[in-house]
Amino acid sequence: MTTTPLATRADRARWRVPPRHVPVLATLALLLVMYGIGVSQYRAFSNVQVVFNIFIDNGFLLVVAVGMTFVILTGGIDLSVGSVVAMTAMVSASLLRDGLHPALVLLIALLIGPILGFAMGCVIHFFDIQPFIVTLAGMFFARGMCTWISATSVPITDGFWTSAAQSRIRLGENFVTVSVLIALAVVAVAAFTLAYTRLGRDVYAIGGNPQSALLMGLPVGRTRIAVYTISGLCSAIGGILLSFYTLSGAPLIAVGMELDVIAAVVIGGTLLTGGSGYVFGTVLGVLVLGVIQTLITFDGTLNSWWTKIVIGGLLFAFILLQRLVGIRTK
């Protein structure tokens, strides 16, 4: 009978991948494979500007997904994000059309999301109502406000807005927009908050086991309200970035964005039940969605609905992967 040396066991344990990292690594591997397929099929796909364009086209989605990451980490959900994005863009376009100073418009627009998010968080906590129902009500309210502001699209012609929308930050022969820099700044702040602050630790603890977190004396209610406020703030920022991208506000803009955001977060490795996930994984999830859209655009023969079909398949696959990882760790 032979025994395994202790040193060998220690080496194996050192190189074993923690189960919570498996979904994120799977997303990274998927992203690399998809990018490799694009490079092998289309010569122009290897251009660095193609990667930058993915960030440019999805900067607003990335910001909203960061806010959703906080919510899902606590085991909640926020269905109002797409409508809040649209309402922020509509309010911005309407106020700019009326001649309000852009700085004041920015301030008002940035307050819309957090106020609604705070209100929904308070209702969820104090009245003990499921987040799905509360945020669904928030979604209808925000979308209704969009139509109340204007039933048609409102163009933005303000000088500051158009300048911010059209500005280019040169990186050698390539470029990014101001929206990309803002999105990356939001990602950096969110990653730091989750990794190194008390709020971040409370978010993970509540998502892992809210009853245990409550018994430990953690501020469960305050943290839940905070994450919905953060999600609202990110939605407001996303709405401003979307208004930069389209230079307009429309009542039906960003319809279904909440589903894309949830898909990006889940594909990025965040558990729907909460307690496990990373902002870096969310970034990868958004990039996966962007690469899918770019591949379909480069192909030119596929309908845009193939994006939804592929995303649906990936979502099923990653939910199953999360389930399998959860079973192995029990």
Statement: residue 322 has pLDDT above 80: no
Statement: residue 14 has pLDDT above 60: no
Name the residue among 18, 64, 44 with its Cα closest to residue 230. Answer: 64
> Which tokens is 329 given?
């760790």
Cα separation of 163 and 160, whole Å?
Answer: 5
> Which tokens is 190 given?
């969110």
Chain Cα centroid distance, residue 40? 29
Within 10 Å of residue 55's Cβ, how many Cβ atoms? 20
Q: What is the mean pLDDT of residues 137-152?
A: 95
How many degrees, rounded to 5, is the angle at CA 244 between CA 241 and CA 245? 90
Q: Could you give the count of Cα atoms lying within 13 Å of 323 in the half-sphere of its Cβ?
A: 6
Within 10 Å of residue 108's Cβ, how many Cβ atoms? 15
Q: Which amino acid is at 123?
A: V
What pTM, to 2 d.p., does this model score?
A: 0.92
Cα separation of 50 and 230, whole Å?
Answer: 31
Three-state DSSP class for residue 266: helix
Cα separation of 6 and 123, whole Å?
Answer: 54
Q: What is the mean pLDDT of residues 198-202?
A: 96
Start-to-end Cα distance in the chain: 30
Which tens digits make up the pLDDT trace of 251-299?
999 998 999 999 999 999 999 888 889 999 999 999 999 999 999 888 8
Which tens digits make up the pLDDT trace of 89-111?
999 999 999 999 999 999 999 99
Q: What is each CA distance from 136 to 131, 149, 182, in whole angstroms?
A: 8, 20, 28
Which tens digits make up the pLDDT trace of 17-62?
777 788 899 899 999 999 999 999 888 898 999 999 999 999 999 9
Name the residue among 287, 274, 184 with its Cα closest to residue 237. Answer: 184
Chain Cα centroid distance, residue 254? 13
Which tens digits make up the pLDDT trace of 64-94?
999 999 999 999 999 999 999 999 999 999 9
pLDDT value of position 171: 87
pLDDT value of position 15: 54
Q: Where residue 122 falls among pLDDT bands split at 50, 70, 90?
A: very high
> Which tokens is 264 given?
């990006």
Q: What is each CA distance from 132 to 104, 245, 288, in whole angstroms?
A: 33, 29, 26
Q: What is each CA distance from 107 to 168, 184, 278, in whole angstroms?
A: 24, 21, 29
Cα separation of 184 and 55, whole Å?
Answer: 9
How many degrees, rounded to 5, is the angle at CA 53 between CA 51 and CA 57? 125
Q: Could you give the count of Cα atoms lying within 13 Å of 58 in the half-sphere of its Cβ?
A: 26
Within 10 Å of residue 293's Cβ, how many Cβ atoms? 18
Cα separation of 85 and 117, whole Å?
Answer: 12
pLDDT value of position 8: 58
What lies within 8 Å, CB to CB, of 191 at 6+ separation is 278, 279, 280
Three-state DSSP class for residue 174: strand
Instruction: Name the region of 241 (left: φ>0; alpha: ψ -120 to 50; beta: rest).
Output: alpha
Percentage of the residues of the chain whose pLDDT score is greater than 90: 73
Q: Could you give the count of Cα atoms lying within 13 Å of 155 in the half-sphere of its Cβ?
A: 3
Three-state DSSP class for residue 219: coil
pLDDT value of position 330: 47
